[in-house]
Amino acid sequence: MKILIVSQYFWPEHFLINDIAKILVAKGHQVFVLTGKPNYPKGKIFKGYDYFSISDQTINNINVIRVPIIPRFSSYFTLLLNYISFVISAIIFGFWKLKDKKFEAIFVFGNSPIFQAIPAILFAKIFKKPISIWIQDLWPESLSAIKFTSNKYLLNLIKIIVKFIYINVDLILIQSRGFYKKINILSKSTQIKYLPNFYSKESSQLRFNKKYDKFFRKKFIFMFAGNLGKAQSLDTLIDAAYLLRNESDIEFIIIGDGSEKRNLIEKVDKLNLKNIIFIEQQTSNVINSFLQKASALIVTLGDQEVLNLTIPSKIQAYLSSAKPIIASLNGTSSSILRESGAALVVRAGDHIKLKNAILKFTRLSLKERNLMGKKGKIYFENNFSITKFMDNFISFMNLSIQNFNESK
């Protein structure tokens, strides 16, 4: 199979699409990637890349075409410019770079922004190829959930664009079954298939820097690792930590970066909490060594409809680590964690029940805690392993090509 991947993000940025492309090549498929200049998450173009050139790279036998984009920087306005600039740049320069390439199908890694599907749809029409998109977030619902905008006119405009995208692709893949109803309403007759996220540990696993050893001396270490945004509702965790501030055996470690990090640090300082430690975002080949130092892993989400339908990618990472999980969330993610047997789950936004769950966990025996982790690992292997994902992904791509060719 010869496949064109359109993704605003690609290596050296850390996203699932990197593993997909690498494994496709390892299985003998030919892969082209159309992407932008790497600048996630800091919003600055990575060292070794310039702003304005159009470049061809070969990374792990993957043909990577990079087009200019405006970096994310740190405001919502520049983030919007970043999204729009990739669409325009991919259309103008992407077509020029792709016109002589031979590929059988187009795949869009539908991480935010979903707008990146627009140039891919144009290429599908011009080159007469089937196009699939893997939906990671519901648009425009996710924008209002993170308070990106509440302007109903803008949200309605985005909804029209999203509907255009859903109608003009041949196959929609969804990372959560909870997405099906909302997408089906907009997509009309487009085929929809369930393809959950996977988690793949980096082949080169590194130990974290020894300077962090001093943070792992309490009996119970509760760790959150991931994006520190509005959707993650980390105020719930901080409020629970406040109620546990006199528990000398308990410590909370928050690893990551995001739009809310400064506000969270200010809140912790204002409450004079000594039981919460912030650690900067870590690379994917180091993060597992942090997870293994935790007594339990924490996941929190806000209580909005769109968040109740999604599955945060950290859930797969947490389950794969064979560590117990304590969760404050609702909906699809809650169901998965309860089913796994690996987690204590309470309602989203309920810091008192989260505090109680944490105390309950500390009273479990070591055998009971280890059993939770083992159950999570088994559930992960049965549902979210990269092997299972790639088998399903390649099957869906081949089906898309076959159906497209038969419809000619």
Check for a shared fold between 2-198+385-407 and 210-383: yes
* pLDDT attached to residue 141: 87
Q: What are the C-alpha distances in Å from 79 to residues 4, 69, 148, 163?
A: 25, 11, 10, 22
CATH 3.40.50.2000 fits 2-198+385-407, yes or no: yes
* pLDDT attached to residue 205: 67
What is the DSSP track for 93-156?
IIHHHHTT---SEEEEEEPSPGGGHHHHHHHHHHHT--EEEEE-S-TTHHHHHTTS---HHHHH
CA 152 to CA 171: how far, in whole Å? 29
Domain ranges of the chain: 2-198+385-407, 210-383
Q: Hey, what long-range contacts does 348-351 have (CB within 8 A, 24 or more apart)?
A: 348/233, 348/236, 348/300, 348/301, 348/302, 348/303, 348/307, 348/308, 349/233, 349/236, 349/302, 349/303, 350/236, 351/235, 351/236, 351/237, 351/239, 351/240, 351/243
Question: What is the full per-residue pLDDT of the chain (408 aa) written as tens digits?
Answer: 999 999 999 999 989 999 999 999 999 999 999 999 999 888 999 999 998 899 999 999 999 999 999 999 878 789 889 999 999 999 999 999 999 999 999 999 988 889 999 999 999 999 999 999 999 999 988 887 777 777 888 889 999 999 999 999 999 999 999 999 999 999 987 899 999 999 987 644 677 888 888 888 899 999 999 999 999 999 999 999 999 999 999 999 999 998 899 999 999 999 999 999 999 988 878 888 999 999 999 999 999 999 999 999 999 999 999 999 999 999 999 999 999 999 999 999 999 999 999 999 999 999 999 999 999 999 999 999 999 999 999 999 999 999 999 887
How many other C-beta atoms can be found within 10 angstroms of the C-beta atom of residue 292? 13
- CATH class as words, domain 210-383: alpha beta
CA 38 to CA 66: how far, in whole Å? 9
* pTM of the full structure: 0.90
* pLDDT attached to residue 374: 98
170 neighbors 132 (Cβ within 8 angstroms): yes
Residues β-bridged to residue 328: 300, 346
What is the DSSP track for 283-301?
-HHHHHHHHTT-SEEEEE-
Where do we find the tokens 């809650």?
334
* pLDDT attached to residue 204: 47
